[in-house]
A and B are shown apart, each in its own frame.
Chain A
Amino acid sequence: MENQYKLLLKKLIKFSLWGTLSQCLLITSIFASEVNKEMNTREFLSVNALWQQEVTVTGTVTSEDGSPLPGVNVVVEGTSQGTTTDADGKYSLQIPDPDVVLIFSFIGYTSQEVPVSARSVVDVNMIPDIQQLGEVVVVAYGTQKKATLTGAVSAVTNDEIITTKNENLQNMLTGKIAGLRVRQNSSEPGQFNSAIDIRGFGGPVLVVVDGIPRDNMTRLDPEDIESISVVKDGSAAVFGSRAANGVIIITTKSGTKTGEPSITYSGNMAWQVPSNYPDLVGAADWMTLYNEKDRHNVDNSNPALKYSPEEIESYRNGTNVSTNWKEAVMRKSAPQTQHTVSATGGNDKITYYSSIGYQYQGSFLQTDAINYEKYTLRSNITAQVSKNIKFDLKLSGISDTRESSPYGSNDIVRAMWLHRPMDKVWYNEEAKQYGMMDWNVILNPVAMMDKDLVGENNYQSKWFQSNASITYDVPFLEGLSLQGLYSFDYTLNDNKEYSKAYTLYLPTGTPYEANTQSVGNSRISRFFYAKNASLWRLQIAFEREFGNHYVSVMNLLENSHYRGDNFYGRRYGVLPVDQLFGGIAEEQQTFQSDDDDALYNYANRASVGRVLYNYKSKYLAEFSYRYEGSSKFPENSRWGFFPAVSAGWRISNEPFWANSTTLNVINDLKLRASYGITGDEDAFAYQFLTGYQYPAGGSRTGLPGGYIFGDSFVSASSSTGLANTSITWYESKTVNIGLDAEAWDGLLGMTVEYFNRNRSGLLETRIESLPGIVGAKLPQENLDSDQTRGFELELRHANRIGDITYQLKGNISYTKTRQIYHEMATAGNSYLNWLQGRNDRNTNIWWGYEGNGRMTNWDDIYYNPVYIGRGSVPGDYEYRDWNGDGWINDLDVHPLAINGQVPLVNYGITLSAQWKGLDLSMLWQGAGRKYVLAREFLYQPLWSNSNAIADFTNRWHPADPNADPYDPATEWIGGEYGYTGSSPNALSDFNIQNAAYVRLKSVEIGYTLPDKVISRIGLQNVRIYGNAYNLLTFTKLRYMDPEFYTTNDTSRNGLVDLGYNYPINKSYSIGISAKF
């Protein structure tokens, strides 16, 4: 053991040494070349310069139209010396050397580097930033200039993020970054239920916040975010171990050395309404549909109708009143609000950004039984402790609370939809006695959200996240720095579930006891989860320009340790006390979950290195690697090496290009390519061991967690099954080829990317190939492989016409995944192999029946070329006899559509425009190649004798409701759906709907109050705005929101999978931001 440990250490050392050495070699070779000379001379000059007398330089900064520009940052290059321009655009600055370079920067304008060249007055005319060449992009462990970037990295800044207002940061990114695919499944407060992935690579996506892998992206306050970068290709290899699906790098704001300290408030109030949520029929329609369904029986087409015309009419004319369950459960709008106060500022010695934030989201439920509240606190401080030592401290705390009825939103929504309009909310409203339907055991949804009656669940989470680092700029070698970083994150979940027994009343008055416990009449459960992550890192970096050569080298060691623990307690209560102590001791439980995500302890250790080189910013090259060990794997297969290499060529920097008048309309043109290997350790831990699990999982109702011997229950131990002693990382190899172009001085920008990711060693058990007679639980093995390919295109345009400046940005991406190999046995015949095979085939193929129109008259029925059911009526669905055997059966099933959860095509168009104080931004976002399946209630009217959605009234039916549908003389009225009782095959393209859509994801109109008005009251930069989220949607999908979740996997039958989901929100907000 000890020896092993030493061996590992040696291996790690070897690798860090190897990395360091190879970088040293590179540097020395450069040193040895002509650079050396130049370096020496330059070094001397600058050292001498320090001794020279300080001089003062002054000047005026003007905007593009010649007016003075206040607030422009002026900094001496390479130092922290600087100032800002005053109200007249003037500045005055002491400079150490008449030959320094001044950097002028201001938001919305291109930074300019102006050599002073011994002048005492330097006037500058700022140029609006309509190109993005000067941008710096945050990449893994550092930043890079966008101009010389060789990997596929897209970034958005705070301004671009906050134009969309939503409770979940992920939804605020929808449509803004090519290849970042976000799909909102629900807007239930506190659930943050969105699917997010990069390029269709799947999940989980590694999210790095301020350099540390973290799991709380959804909870971040968007106001705190400086920028978000998405690393989409092999250049993610420096994050190797978890980067196979791409990386999202989030950087929070930090203080600035220049500029007045300021306090900013920004806040908004929003009203949410459900987006595309189906309406329900009233009793009159319900009864009509019911009668039709009754009639829809060829053997007995003329039964006594259950509901007489008089009874139906009584609901139509208002004598009897239907219950509108949607209105009984859901209110018209729900409130939402968000406020952030931040303070920022700084000087040469210290800079800071701190903020506090508050967010509240109410639910559509009438009682607001589900709601969410969040407090955030952030403090980012950088201190220049001495000339060479910088100390960085970033602290963040989040505390949130989700309140909920003990019934989930899915239960409430399901009950709301399945209750019929004749069922009553109240049995006796005055006595507060809720009604209960008599045809099935579905509890009253209005009672379910009455927390006084049924109890309450409360979910609290707290995050504490910190990282502290010290950076030492080695004084004797310019560009060399050392950094040590330590991070400690702690997450606490403290959940309480309190559910009470209560009584509903059947229409007859018979009480129905709901949620009774075997002991007592209530149940109190407490759950505690504590998770902590610590990480330390030692980094050495060298960055320097030697004439035409730019070199940046970085090497680091990283160590991380993750631990999770939990326990819970449960008691039953007799008195209405919602505390554990109030429960009784009989049948109380304390327990601990041993789920992989609740109880864990694992560690990683890595050595990371990177070398960047470019010549005249024209020939670009980068090499990086990560060598990592994970405690999840056995000693012999624990370590993985993940290298990446990339190169770029800025063709526009070649003389032939720059000198050609035809070619140089394209101001910047860069061709780049990258190749990288990343890995993933997303395997269950300890599969290399075999042993026993105790107690074996089980439940009271599902058994078998044990067995009763004597008079006591003996918990069982179960074998963990076979071991895989060589389980290891799977590998993902990504090629990316990209092209960046800027033309006509920023009028047009373009980025095109093509990518191909091959994964091998994907984890799969041999469940489909090893005979069942082995009888053991199987471990995952590195067996499968797949390939994901696609492209992205981004176009940018910015211009100024008169007083109007505007920017347009559009992106589109397409991705497809193919399974190369899947471990499975070969079926007995070729047809079955075709049907079940998965090897070398696109994933997510939807098999089903192809529709062939509708039977519109009796001739279609009498003379139908294929066998159709005896009870067919006009309006019934026809299917294509795909194999031509004269009848429709399983053999006609063939690929119909794509059934992935996230659309294959995603696009977004952002428009922003400014005119004087007014600004407008719009995001149109859309998706294609996405299909959904309606299930149960959404699929069939009166499913299981429940309610029906209003759309189903648009159906084929006899003009006279009393006519016999099987009488050829009966006159029919056509419609979208079949005669009630005729439902299409659930897996046919009548029910598989195209969920392609385009929607106005967000639109914001803002007005910045004129300075002269507000400066009197001590304010600056006051902006008011109105914003709408999901305002308009264009889709062919019927009665559902195109992002609404139902699963296409018909073997999954959870309420969520069946579509009994809380709606997606559409929201309208007004807000203000002001600076003090």
Chain B
Amino acid sequence: MTLRKILITISLTATFSACTDLDIPPTNILGDEEIFGSNAGVLSNVARIYSRLPIEDFKYYYPSGFNYNGTLYKQMAALTGEAVGRDTQGADNEGFSYWDDGYAEIRDINMLLEKVPAYAATLGEIEAQTYLAEARFCRAFTYYALVKRYGGVPLVTTTIDYPASVDLEGTRLFRASEEAIWDLIASDLDYAIENLPEESPAKGRVNKYVAAAFKSRAMLHAGSIAKYNTVDGTQDQNGTIVRINGVPANRAEGYFKAAYDAAKLVVESNKYALYKGLWEAGDLAAQTRNFRALFMNETSENIFVKYYDETNSSHNYDESVQPNQTKSGGNDSEINPTMDFVEMFDGIAKDEEGHFDNIDDNGHYYLFDSPLDAFANAEPRLRGTVIFPMDTYRGKVIEIRRGIWTGDASGGIPPLASEGNTGNVADFPDPHLHLASALGSNPEIELEAGDPHGDRMRAAGANGPVSNWDFGNVGGIYLAKYLRESGPTTGFNSTQSWIEIRYAEVLLNQAEAAYELYQAGAAGDNYLTVAYNNINSIRERAGATLLSNEVDLNHIDIIRTERRKELAFENKTYWDLKRWRILHEEQNNRRWRILNTFYSTDAQQYFLSVKFQEPRAGFQYLFTFDTRYYYQPIPEAEINKNPNTKQNPGF
């Protein structure tokens, strides 16, 4: 039939002529060959792995996670008593779960481990070996971030081939024992130490000693858990009882030894040294400058560093920590060091309890021409770490003041009603006390004739603290560590490098491991001598009082305190307090103590009041650490998806 013929002819011509091929290759997806077939390609994948390493740096925000893109209102330093913050209202925990991101990182690493060998010839055997060792380092680093939070976690060392060869049930792995995770970390790092070059192929990438330095940290942590942990969690996994929380105590010595040896490898390589570029014996100012410079520069002390630049990656540390006085918009004053922190250091007048001595024998405040005078002889490391009231920063005298007292000072100034008290200063009426309720309503107080400070002075200075919820200082002191002296102070314009591992930590790791081994009576090196030497070299650089002989090193707390002073505000202390299992003792209905600077118009001098952190906006700032948080809860969603994941005790 003609009609039919026409229809068919039309259909056929149409189909064969201008048809579009439906097999259109993607414009934006690359294959294995493009990525693993060249060093530039592998490096892009390696960059991916590094970029998502769980490094708790300037962009780590404990309520939300790593690489946080926002204002850092809450700071980890406020969890340890080093500092107080407006927004950390009590003992707090991570508000996110490092789980999915951790395993995503592990998958990327495992994939690289699986793909690179096939391309080894093209890439070069040495290069390929370096990539593999680097990946093992990164895997250890990631598992360390998991194990310190959760204890034993599912052990994944290959890419889970779902859905091709593994079914849904096959993805529901049990948690491995905590011990197995620590051992995986050790073996991955051993591989890395064995196979990485002596020198990093590029700045920022790891080498043999970075792996060793990190191993000293991880194994010290493992040893601490074995020795101090009290939480025991087990799971019956098809008849086998697996200890998912805690490590057998008999492993402690082995882990400490591993930490000690790894640190020793770094020390004996002589590739790193404590930075003393600006340091001069006996010169407190030079030693202070030296300590500040350490965090701003590329120094011999840097072992593993995460770099930033203006165009591609930047952070907002300066904005968060900036004194209100020097800010140019944005946020400020999120870290306010406490007196509890300050009192750990040498060179400050202290009473019998070790507290800062601000009241004389007659029960009156000591008076100072400048609040700085009270800290003139403080250990340079402290002066390098914090900004005291009237310290100079960015060419400005940082005016931190709680208020002005206009009472009669002729007979000495007796303690204010708020001294040592838990309330807000504004709640203790004193007709002579002039405070600011907010920075925007900061009254100017008339000074007496002839006052060297002029005619008028703002009650709360240029930074506060003020009585109500507002920007500005809330603790009386500012932080100096890592803070730039120049450059923008607002937004994401900071590019300081984050020193994840520095040599001082390795010395401290070695000292702590050595002391633990010494206490355990372990055979081998003269552990006490090593610990003694390491502590003293740290103290010497710090400008602190040296231990006079090995016998003085009679308690682990000496090493721990040294560590807390040296590594303060580097996001390490929180985990230290946790691994020592002493955070609950430190924070048991505790309020942190702050410095309140007042000016007396009559005396024309300052006096320093020490009191507890002031309640604001209804928040009491009372810290109690719940011991179950020594292990953080595994995300509920993961347990729903994988019922074989047993929850940690207490949740």
Contact = CB atoms under 8 A, between A and B. Distances in A.
A776 B311 contact: no
Given A692-B29, A708-B308, A716 B44 contact: yes
Given A4-B23, A559-B18, A775 B12 contact: no
Contact of A603 (B7, B20, B168): B20
A916 interface: no
Interface string B307-345: 111111111100000000000111000000000000000
A480 B3 contact: yes
Contact of A722 (B163, B310, B437): B163
Interface in B581-639: 618, 635-639
B329 A513 contact: yes
Nearest to A299: B618
Contacts of A718: 48, 108
Interface string A711-724: 10111111110100
B171 A771 contact: yes
B513 interface: no
Given A20-B11, A24-B3, A707-B204, A772 B47 contact: no
B44 A717 contact: yes
Interface in B99-142: 99-100, 103-108, 111
Nearest to A717: B44
B45 A692 contact: yes
Contacts, number: 272
Contact of A536 (B7, B18, B35, B307): B18
A629 B28 CA distance: 22
A669 B295 CA distance: 86
Given A17-B11, A775-B105, A707 B18 contact: no
B314 to A, nearest CB: 6
Of A17, A708, A709, A777, chain B has the most CB atoms within 10 Å of the CB of A708
A390 B104 CA distance: 61
Report the contact-size class of chain B (Cβ under 8 Å from the partner).
Answer: 35 or more
Nearest to B205: A709
Given A538-B14, A717-B41, A772-B638, A709 B440 contact: no
A439 to B, nearest CB: 6
Contact of A599 (B27, B31, B641): B27
A689 B640 CA distance: 29
B449 interface: no
A719 B108 CA distance: 7
Interface in A551-569: 555, 557, 559-561
A20 B8 CA distance: 8
Interface in B4-34: 4, 6-8, 10-12, 14-16, 18-24, 26-32, 34
A884 interface: no
Contacts of B50: 707, 709
Contact of A774 (B15, B103, B618): B103
Given A559-B18, A705-B51, A512 B67 contact: no
A635 interface: yes
Interface in A538-597: 538, 540, 555, 557, 559-561, 587, 594
Nearest to A685: B26
A988 interface: no
A707 B19 contact: no
Contacts of A350: none
Interface stretch (A454-462, A695-703, A753-761): A695-703
B86 to A, nearest CB: 14
A691 B103 contact: no
Contacts of A555: 7, 11
A436 B426 CA distance: 29
Nearest to B153: A773
A482 B48 contact: no
A557 B492 contact: no
A701 B314 contact: yes
A926 to B, nearest CB: 41
B43 A714 contact: yes
B160 interface: yes
Contacts of A773: 103, 154, 156, 160, 171, 173, 638, 642
A876 to B, nearest CB: 16
Interface string A374-413: 0000000000000000000000000000000000000000
Nearest to A701: B492
Given A561-B20, A691-B30, A713 B309 contact: yes
A883 B561 CA distance: 51
B162 A709 contact: no
A12 interface: yes
Contacts of B439: 438
Select the residue from A599, A715, A771, A825 with max chain B CB neighbours within 10 A.
Answer: A771
Contact of A720 (B4, B29, B107, B490): B29
Contacts of B330: 441
A709 B47 contact: yes
A769 interface: yes
A689 B43 contact: no
Contacts of B30: 691-694, 717
Given A13-B11, A24-B3, A773-B160, A715 B47 contact: yes
B44 A710 contact: no
Contacts of B46: 707, 714
Nearest to A536: B18
A970 to B, nearest CB: 22
B289 to A, nearest CB: 26
A477 B108 CA distance: 67
Nearest to B107: A775
A284 to B, nearest CB: 18
Contact of A631 (B22, B35, B47, B488): B22
Nearest to B40: A714
A309 interface: no
Interface of A: 1, 4-5, 8-9, 12-13, 16-17, 20-21, 24, 27-28, 297, 300, 306, 438-439, 441, 474, 477, 480, 482, 507, 512-514, 516, 518, 536, 538, 540, 555, 557, 559-561, 587, 594, 599-605, 607, 629-631, 635, 638, 685-686, 689, 691-696, 698-711, 713-720, 722, 768-777, 825-828
22 contacts: A306-B441, A474-B6, A540-B10, A557-B15, A604-B22, A685-B26, A692-B34, A702-B67, A704-B48, A707-B46, A707-B48, A708-B308, A708-B313, A709-B50, A714-B43, A714-B47, A769-B168, A771-B173, A772-B100, A773-B638, A777-B104, A828-B636
Given A605-B19, A707-B48, A828-B639, 8 more contacts: A21-B4, A439-B470, A512-B328, A561-B20, A700-B313, A706-B44, A773-B154, A774-B107
Q: Ordered nearest first, which 10 A-B pairs have the shortest CB separation?
A: A704-B51, A775-B107, A716-B48, A702-B69, A775-B103, A710-B202, A771-B642, A708-B307, A772-B100, A825-B640
